[in-house]
Chain A
Amino acid sequence: MAEDLNKLVSQVRRDILRMVHTVNSGHPGGSLGCVEFFVTLYKRILETKNNSSKDMFILSNGHISPVYYSILARSGYFDVKELNTFRKINSRLQGHPTNHDGLPGINISSGSLGQGVSVGLGIALSKKINNDTSLVYVLTGDGELQEGQNWEAFMYASANKVDNIIITVDYNGQQIDGSTKDVLDVGDLKEKFISFGWEVLEVDNGNSLDDLYYTLQIAKESSKKGKPIVILMKTVMGNGVDFMMHTHEWHGKAPNDDQLEIALNQNPETLGDY
């Protein structure tokens, strides 16, 4: 299992790099930082077999669409060849993800930030009405938490004991203009979530498959106990490509031909490029 997942991680990184390189646009940094999360979520956590009761995932920070598209394709939602249409005209793989064009696996549009937690809560409420015991997962960025709507949603969730939702924050400390500390300090997120009445879990290495799986399992076990759950997942933006790591420089910039070659050499083809 672990070996297979590591192979998938390498292949998803290649997909991300090749997608953004082809169209010379897109967001590789945050995408690479969340590869291990998506691989763990889609391969080991989400239960989607039962049509009437299946876990749902919402990506709030829609700009990391490359990693989302790659994992969806590599999980069979659509043909991996379609990854080659990313950001091109007449594609279902828009710059930011949308259900508007019928791409399987996408539940709602995101890109304009700060809206995904509210949407996830709405889905969670519908599951409660239906006595559906499956869960809702949402990923948000940390810079994205500067959007006020998130805090409306956090307040709502604890006040109404929405406990069938697990929010994960991609806590990489970076955003387009620099570090979140410099741009607009989000402060002590753990304390903020605790004061908002949330159950807080932390992953110190959000790029470790084992640590992610372990924490997501704890989150599942902690659900349905009267509190919403948040996982603060410390990731490294640009993870897996040495020159893209620990900087915001690659938040929204594609590698050139030479940089792509170096990056791909660090991540061998394992499951076949699209």
Chain B
Amino acid sequence: MENYKNQGDKDTRSGFGEGLTELGRSNENVVALCADLTGSLKMNTFAEENPKRFFQAGIAEANMIGLAAGLATGGKIPFTGTFANFSTGRVYDQIRQSVAYSNKNVKICASHAGITLGEDGATHQILEDIGLMKMLPGMTVINTCDFNQTKSATIEISKFDGPVYLRFGRPKVANFTDSTQKFEIGKGLMLKEGSDVTIVATGHLVWEALIASEKLSQKGINSEIINIHTIKPIDEDIILNSVSKTGCLVSAEEHNILGGLGESISRLLTTKLPVPQEFVGTKDTFGESGTPSELMNKYGLNSSSIFDSAFKVLQRK
């Protein structure tokens, strides 16, 4: 942890909002659409500053995705915003046909992802979206870990030509990555080198992995911490290089273990360098109402689960 200090809790969705605001000022081709959640997605400033480039779609997500595909056909770079649940499952066929298969330059920006949406409960939480999106041919899938990384990713994906799913969340969480970082799509980040066990985390679980790493070192275990923000295409080299040294791996994500980051890593390891792996994630279940921290604890999405999984996988080496 010595290298990573919390600069103050901030929500990742505000990182998206700030990134989008910057894009509004710097790139006139960027347009934004929202399905009646402008405040929740922090898109207000973009909307106020660029009224001709902001489209309020109303509670009509399917039409919003179609509008975005059309705006992209017309040469614009559309960013759509709504909750992750309504950004993916509700509009899967629209994304599949009008965006992915048609290779449209649409950025699907999804807030309130995972279980940390909290009190609204399972109808609004989604723990399947990474799987849904990564299965679409040609879709880039990104899950950012803090405010700074989300802001940087938002700006960077505007420069990439192709459909992107950008996943972030609702609660205020540790903001610990560099505010001047340059986000590189598909490039994992080595947060801490170690020799005993590799821990690969994405999204809100990255900070938890850093906490777990400290607890592990107190027990004499030297863990290597990797942040995979781009789940597709995944940075194979950083993972393979790490496990060739440590010989075991724990994956951690705020997502169902079926279809998420862990499964992408497991396919990689099985085909290239088989080593034991343990999975931190939800176990094929829906969420429920509760505070974000209560839910993270109940569903095992925290530093203790990562710590326990590291011990378990070490015994399987």
Interface of A toward B, CB cutoff 8 Å: 56, 58, 98-100, 107-112, 114-127, 129-130, 148-149, 152-153, 155-156, 159-160
A108, B69: Cβ atoms closer than 8 Å? yes
Q: A254 to B135, alpha carbons, bound, how many Å?
A: 34
Q: Are the CB atoms of A118 and B67 closer together than 8 Å?
A: yes
CB atoms of B70 and A130 under 8 A apart:
no
Q: Which of A99, A110, A114, A122 has a CB less than 8 Å from the CB of B68?
A: A122
Contact between B58 and A122, CB atoms less than 8 A apart: no
Q: Can you pick out 22 interface pairs between chain A and chain B where the beta carbons lie within 8 Å of each other?
A: A98-B102, A99-B103, A108-B73, A108-B102, A108-B104, A109-B98, A110-B97, A115-B66, A115-B69, A117-B66, A119-B67, A121-B63, A121-B67, A121-B70, A122-B71, A124-B70, A125-B74, A126-B75, A129-B31, A149-B94, A156-B57, A159-B58
Known: A99-B103, A125-B55, A152-B60. A112 touches B93 (CB 8 A): yes
Chain A residues with Cβ below 8 Å from B174 are: none
- In the A-B complex, the 9 residue pairs with the closest CB atoms: A122-B70, A118-B66, A126-B74, A152-B60, A152-B63, A122-B67, A149-B62, A119-B70, A123-B70
Within 8 Å by CB of A126, from B71, B93, B101, lies B71
Q: A115-B94, A115-B97, A129-B31 are in contact. Are A149 and B73 (CB under 8 A)?
A: no
Residues of B within 8 A of A (CB): 31, 52-53, 55, 57-58, 60, 62-63, 65-76, 78, 93-94, 96-98, 101-104
Collect the chain A residues with CB atoms within 8 Å of residue B60's CB: 152, 155-156
Is the pair A112, B73 in contact by a Cβ cutoff of 8 Å?
no
Give the CA-CA distance A159 to B58 in the complex, in Å.
Answer: 11
Q: Can you name the residue of chain A whose Cβ is closest to the Cβ of B106?
A: A122
* Shortest Cβ distance from residue B251 to the other chain A in the assembled complex, whole angstroms: 32
Contact of A156 among B53, B67, B101, B102 (CB under 8 A): B67
Whole-angstrom distance between the Cβ of B58 and the nearest chain A Cβ: 7
CB-based contact A112/B97 at 8 Å: yes
Known: A115-B69, A119-B73, A122-B73. 17 other contacts (CB 8 A): A100-B102, A100-B103, A108-B69, A108-B98, A117-B66, A121-B63, A122-B69, A122-B72, A123-B73, A125-B55, A126-B76, A129-B31, A149-B94, A152-B60, A156-B57, A156-B63, A156-B67
Q: Interface SS of chain A: helix, strand, loop or mixed?
A: helix
Residues from chain A with Cβ under 8 Å of B76 in the complex: 126, 129
Residue of B nearest to A147 (CB): B62
Name the residue of chain B whose CB is nearest to the CB of A150: B63
Q: How far is the CA of A127 from the CA of B72 in the complex (A)?
A: 11
Among residues of A, the one whose C-beta sits closest to the C-beta of B93 is: A112
Q: B66, A153: Cβ atoms under 8 Å?
A: yes
Knowing A100-B103, A118-B67, the reply to whether A148 touches B72 (Cβ < 8 A) is: no
Complex Cα gap A117–B78 (Å): 17
Residue on B nearest A126 in the bound complex, by CB: B74
Q: Are A121 and B66 in contact (CB under 8 A)?
A: yes
| B53 proximity list for chain A (CB < 8 A) | 129
Flag if B70 contacts A120 (CB, 8 Å): yes
Contacts of A119 in B (CB 8 A): 66-67, 69-70, 73, 98
Complexed CA–CA distance, A155 and B59 (Å): 11
A122 touching B74 in the complex, CB below 8 Å, given contacts A149-B66, A152-B60, A155-B60: yes
Contact B65 A118 (CB under 8 A): yes
Residues on A with C-beta less than 8 A from B94 are 115, 118, 149
- Chain B contacts of A149 at CB under 8 A? 62-63, 66, 94
Chain B residue contacts of A159, Cβ below 8 A: 58
Q: How far is the CB of A158 from chain B (nearest CB, A)?
A: 12
Among residues of A, the one whose C-beta sits closest to the C-beta of B91 is A149
Give the nearest-CB partner of A119 in chain B. Answer: B70
Query: Is B70 a contact partner of A156 (Cβ separation < 8 A)?
Result: no
Separation of A126 and B66 alpha carbons in the complex (Å): 13
Using CB atoms, name the residue of chain B closest to A132.
B74
List chain B residues, Cβ under 8 A from A156.
57-58, 60, 63, 67
Which of B63, B75, B96: most chain A Cβ within 10 A? B63
A153 to B69, CA, bound (A): 13
CB neighbours of B55 from chain A (8 A):
125, 160
Report whether A152 and B93 are in contact in the complex, using a CB–CB cutoff of 8 Å.
no
Q: Contact check, B74 vs A130: say whether CB atoms are below 8 A apart.
A: yes
Q: What is the bound-complex CA distance between A120 and B52, given in angstroms?
A: 18
Is A127 a contact partner of B74 (Cβ separation < 8 A)? yes
A-side contacts of B67, CB under 8 Å: 118-119, 121-122, 125, 156
* Complex: A237 Cα to B199 Cα, angstroms: 61
Q: Which residues of B contact A160 (CB under 8 A)?
A: 55
